[in-house]
Amino acid sequence: MKTDMTRYLPILTWGRAYNRSALSSDVVAALIVTIMLIPQSLAYALLAGLPPEAGLYASIAPIMLYAVFGTSRALAVGPVAVVSLMTAAALSNIVEQGTMGYAVAALSLAALSGVILLAMGLFRLGFVANFLSHPVIAGFITASGIIIAASQLKHVLGIDAEGNNLLELVISITEHIAETNWITAIIGILATGFLFWVRKGLRPLLKRFGLSDGLTGVLVKTGPVAVVVATTFAVWAFGLSAKGVKIVGEVPQSLPPLTLPSFSPELLGQLLLPAFLISIIGFVESISVAQTLAAKKRQRIDPDQELIGLGAANIGAALTGGFPVTGGFSRSVVNFDAGAETPAAGAFTAVGLAIAALALTPLIYFLPKATLAATIIVAVLSLVDFSILKRSWDYSKADFSAVFATMIITLAIGVEAGVSAGVGLSVLLHLYKSSKPHIAEVGQVPGTEHYRNILRHDVITDPSIVSLRVDESLYFANARYLEDNIHNRVAGDKNIRHVILQCSAINDIDLSALESLETINARLHEMGVKLHLSEVKGPVMDRLKRAHFLAELTGEVFLSQFEASSTLKQM
């Protein structure tokens, strides 16, 4: 019972060893992350089509709940760019942005996502995320980053524009470009330029002044805060809101409210697919970050428990006025670099954000939306990685086609279609590759008991024996391919008396493949050729023993390929 409790409540494990040193490190990390998260949370709420306070609310309860249920010591949970965009894309097709129904739909989307993640965690379905290949994910995130950046140009220019994909956004922005508010545009362009410079040029400048790496890192991370303060002051001091500069306006000065999602079957039915896609993408992003950071400190991440932690975080967001959340790359890296020792750093961050929601919201009344848009643009463009196209092209044309198709579909149709295509293409790519497994004819390396591909090595063969090594598990998608390959090799050579199927790379044989082996055995028997197996793995042999195949096998099962060849040469 105790073991089960610690498995589902990791806080019981790290909490017992918590000490003053960890407390000090966690508080410092929390302070730095809180400073970074305030403008970022407001910006991602804007991206999701929600009022800015929703970003703060979505960054408080979820972090607290993840600290209790999550296994990563450094993961920082909250709104992220891609999930915020997917939220906006899902909800804009169902309810009108800016209405109460939109906010309720966002809560419902978070709740559904939380339930899906919890269920996957409890039933240990973390492997589902493996159906999305990393190259396809990289292509999807790159395309999403471009769409996100394009969607924020309307705020940078101070115009109205609509669209769920790049083509719609470009057309809409082009149609309204003449309405550009030049004061807003100046603010947006300067803010964007400054934030890019902070990322690339501030660190070397500060180091020339002799500042330590630690202090330099903190100052670089606080760049967005400096932009927020400067542009907010400028709008207030010069009365720029009266000149058409759109501002955040009044933000409720309160802690997250208690909210309830909708239980309408119609709404939940419409949100079910988007919630599933958001859950999968959010989990893949989160687990990738968590495992990368954990590896640096030789810590362990439990993917199934991470599902539970993220599920709890999303349900927390649904009950406190938020929207779907996951583990964010940039904030988690900042949390790690700032020295976070335990998930308590996240809890302290939540406290800092709660204080900000209570005390600092009046100070952002004059914050221009162009500044928040600049924050988003700079953050998401760091996710854009076109090098994946060249790497995939050089390494595998099949991978390239999947990555390229995912990017094009995402850009041309939208994020939901893109991620759906990504899942489908990942599965199809796997089926395509495994449906035509590598089958090598092997021979004996002179003076050894090793067998290698006759096309790659100078080996010894016997004209009466064909030895084939299948480098893939056998299942319904490739069973017929094996049949055809063996038939084509044997049919035209009347010297062949034995076929040895080397099974060293076969980890599984399903029922379809078993039936194909039975067919191969029968066809070879009709040709006067015996079928033999060698190096069959224990679990595969256990399954074969439960069928009639071994009893009907015309040949034998050998422990090694060398034993098989040596025995058959003497027959």
546: CB partners within 8 A, 6+ apart = none
Over residues 362-375, the pLDDT tens digits come to 999 999 999 999 98
141-151 pLDDT, tens digit each: 899 999 999 99
Q: What is the CATH number of domain 439-569?
A: 3.30.750.24
**Is there a contact between 374 and 156 (Cβ–Cβ < 8 Å)?**
yes
> In this structure, are residues 376 and 43 in contact, taking their beta carbons and an 8 Å threshold?
yes
**From the first residue on, what is the mean pLDDT of each consecutive set of 10 residues in the chain (571 residues)?**
66 83 87 85 92 94 93 90 92 87 96 96 83 81 92 93 90 94 96 88 78 71 84 95 92 92 94 93 88 82 92 97 91 82 90 91 92 90 88 90 92 88 82 91 96 96 96 95 95 93 96 96 96 97 94 96 93 74
Domain coordinates of the chain in residue numbers?
A: 20-428, 439-569
Residue with tokens 């450094």: 74
pTM of the model: 0.82
- From residue 533, alpha-carbon distances to 84, 437, 462, 490, 514 in Å are 54, 18, 17, 16, 13
Most distant pair of Cα atoms in the chain: their distance: 99
Nearest residue to 417 (alpha-carbon basis) of 274, 279, 266: 274
For residue 123, CA distances in Å to 10, 43, 119, 307, 552 come to 18, 35, 6, 10, 40
Neighbouring C-alpha atoms within 13 Å toward the C-beta of 516: 19
Comparing C-alpha atoms, which of 500, 478, 505 is closest to residue 490?
500
Q: What share of the chain is helix, strand, coil (3-state, %, to 5)?
A: 65, 5, 30
At 65 the pLDDT is 95
Question: What is the structure's pLDDT at 2?
Answer: 43
- State residue 218's pLDDT score: 66
Cα–Cα distance for residue pair 441/453, rounded to 1 Å: 6
Contacts of 563 (CB under 8 A, 6+ apart): 534
412 conformational bin, left if phi > 0, alpha if psi -120 to 50, beta if neither:
alpha
Residue 19: what pLDDT?
Answer: 86
**Confidence (pLDDT) at 238:** 94
- pLDDT value of position 3: 52
pLDDT at 292: 84
Q: How many CB atoms lie within 10 A of CB 244?
A: 12
> How far apart are alpha carbons 204 and 211 in whole angstroms?
10
Cα 387 to its chain centre, rounded Å, is: 18
Nearest CA to 15 among 346, 299, 342, 290?
342
Cα angle: 84, vertex 88, 93; to 5 degrees: 155
Q: In the numeric block, which tokens belong to residue 103? A: 């906010």
Question: Smallest Cα–Cα separation from 185: which of 374, 33, 433?
Answer: 374
